[in-house]
């Protein structure tokens, strides 16, 4: 049996982990098992513990990564770290390495050097590639290589892999350079026939009435009236709204404000935060999606229970990697180690 013991930094609610531990290939001898995870957010840790490793509380460490003693973690064979993207996101201030979150990737590098896992998966927003004219991305790649890894970065467009959401993320897979294994980017071709519309994701099958995290969000009368004038696929700025319902906004106009889903397409990107008008809106009903509906767009199963208040759950869901996307990539890693051929494509990022 080849079990890869997985450690995870910035684990969040467990989107990467769920995809990893449910990954299966033709050779059942190869699998990924949870070893430890850490995050600073209490609710996210509680969610991770509930769904990924119930009964193993000590394996989920709630701590600020800057205060965590990395030398006391258990040995691992694989590392995942979706290092915080706030300073690289195109919807943020793009402070990059000068921000609070920008330098946190370095803790992943430290763990690689300390424990030398056989492989790692690192994740961030697509904007990372061009931050600071590409200098930041090149610096991160160089440090991963100097830690002893052959790296394969790729900008994954998850809607091409059957995920019912247009979500574009850079995933970097690293294989330790003394191991004779080559990772290839999995091809989206096997998933092109999947119905990945948001209607299918939310309605097929219907969400059970007793499903957790499915509470409706209250909408003000003005929001209800505004949504009644916005057609599927439209937002508050390109819909024909009466003057009294128009938004009084000057400057940049974000296209996702009060945008209703197009039921016949994947959803637009699920986000973890934002004020009025950013909650993702149903195509037929004048309301925001419930957290359970948002979780379906992130391919979490209905059995996945999120802990915390409604806004905390919203944040956890929006910051996660889609479970199905993680599963596809982790299965490609397992196939690589097992020597099993699979459809692959060239990376779209040259390093």
Q: For 189-202, what is each residue's pLDDT tens digit?
A: 999 999 999 999 99
Asked whether the predicted pLDDT for residue 100 surpasses 50, the reply is no
Buried b (16+ CB within 10 A) or exposed e, 19-28: bbbbbebeee
* Distance separating alpha carbons of residues 290 and 215, to the nearest angstrom: 6
Domains of the chain and CATH, by start = 2-193+320-345 (3.40.50.150)
Name 8's bridge partners: 37, 80
**Mean pLDDT computed over 151-173:** 97
**Mean pLDDT computed over 235-254:** 84
Residue 345 makes CB contacts below 8 A (sequence gap 6+) with: 184, 185, 186, 187, 188
Q: Considering only CA atoms, which of 174, 105, 99 is closest in space to residue 139?
A: 105
pLDDT tens track for 6-48: 999 999 999 999 999 999 999 999 999 999 999 999 999 999 9
Please tell me the predicted confidence (pLDDT) of residue 264. Answer: 98
**Least confident segment among 109-113, 176-180, 271-275, 284-288:** 271-275
> Is residue 130 very low, low, confident or very high in pLDDT (cuts 50, 70, 90)?
confident
> Is residue 84 very low, low, confident or very high in pLDDT (cuts 50, 70, 90)?
confident
**Mean pLDDT computed over 108-120:** 97
Asked whether the predicted pLDDT for residue 342 surpasses 90, the reply is yes
Please tell me the predicted confidence (pLDDT) of residue 333. Answer: 98
Rounded to 5 degrees, φ, ψ at 296 are -65, -35
Adjacency order of strands within the sheet including 149-157: 60-62, 30-39, 2-9, 78-81, 119-125, 168-176, 149-157
Pair 57, 339: CB distance under 8 Å: no
| From 85, 198, 323, 330, active-site residue | 85
Name 30's bridge partners: 2
Pair 9, 83: CB distance under 8 Å: yes
pLDDT tens track for 251-298: 656 778 999 999 999 999 999 988 778 889 999 999 999 999 999 999
Q: SS3 helix, strand, coil % of the chain, rounded to 5?
A: 35, 15, 50
Please tell me the predicted confidence (pLDDT) of residue 253. Answer: 65
Please tell me the predicted confidence (pLDDT) of residue 214. Answer: 98
* Distance separating alpha carbons of residues 130 and 89, to the nearest angstrom: 10
Please tell me the predicted confidence (pLDDT) of residue 68. Answer: 96
Q: What is the chain's mean pLDDT, rounded?
A: 92
85 is catalytic: yes
Please tell me the predicted confidence (pLDDT) of residue 87. Answer: 43
Q: How open is the CA angle 276-278-279, to the nearest 5 degrees?
A: 100
pLDDT tens track for 199-215: 999 999 999 999 999 99
Pair 8, 38: CB distance under 8 Å: yes
**Mean pLDDT computed over 142-166:** 98
* Distance separating alpha carbons of residues 131 and 90, to the nearest angstrom: 10
């Amino acid at each position: 049996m080849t079990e890869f013991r997985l450690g995870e930094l910035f684990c969040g609610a467990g989107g990467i982990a769920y995809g990893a531990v449910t990954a299966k290939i033709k050779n059942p001898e190869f699998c990924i098992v949870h070893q430890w995870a850490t995050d600073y957010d209490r609710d996210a840790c509680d969610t991770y513990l509930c769904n990924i490793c119930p009964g193993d509380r000590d394996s989920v460490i709630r701590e600020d990564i800057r205060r965590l003693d990395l030398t006391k973690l258990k040995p691992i064979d694989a590392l995942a770290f979706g290092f915080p993207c706030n300073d690289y996101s195109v919807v943020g201030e793009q402070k990059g390495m000068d921000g609070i979150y920008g330098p946190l990737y370095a803790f992943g590098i430290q763990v690689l050097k300390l424990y030398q896992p056989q492989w790692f998966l690192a994740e961030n927003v697509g904007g990372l590639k061009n931050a600071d004219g590409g200098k930041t991305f090149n610096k991160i790649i160089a440090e991963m290589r100097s830690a002893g890894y052959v790296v394969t970065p790729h900008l994954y467009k998850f809607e091409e892999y059957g995920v019912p959401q247009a979500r574009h993320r850079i995933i970097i897979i690293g294989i330790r350079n003394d191991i004779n294994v080559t990772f290839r980017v999995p091809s989206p071709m096997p998933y092109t026939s999947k119905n990945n519309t948001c209607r299918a994701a939310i309605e097929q099958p219907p969400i059970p009435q007793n499903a957790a995290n499915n509470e409706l969000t209250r909408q003000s009368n003005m929001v209800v009236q505004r949504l009644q004038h916005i057609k599927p696929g439209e937002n508050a700025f390109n819909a024909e709204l009466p003057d009294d319902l128009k938004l009084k906004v000057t400057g940049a106009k974000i296209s996702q404000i009060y945008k209703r889903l197009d039921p016949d397409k994947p959803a637009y990107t699920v986000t973890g935060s934002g004020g009025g008008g950013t909650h993702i809106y149903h195509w037929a009903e004048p309301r925001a999606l419930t957290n359970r509906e948002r979780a379906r767009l992130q391919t979490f199963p209905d059995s996945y229970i999120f802990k915390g208040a409604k806004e905390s759950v919203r944040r956890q869901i929006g910051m996660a990697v889609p479970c199905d996307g993680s599963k596809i990539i982790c299965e490609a890693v397992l196939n690589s180690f097992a020597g099993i051929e699979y459809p692959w494509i060239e990376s779209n990022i040259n390093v």
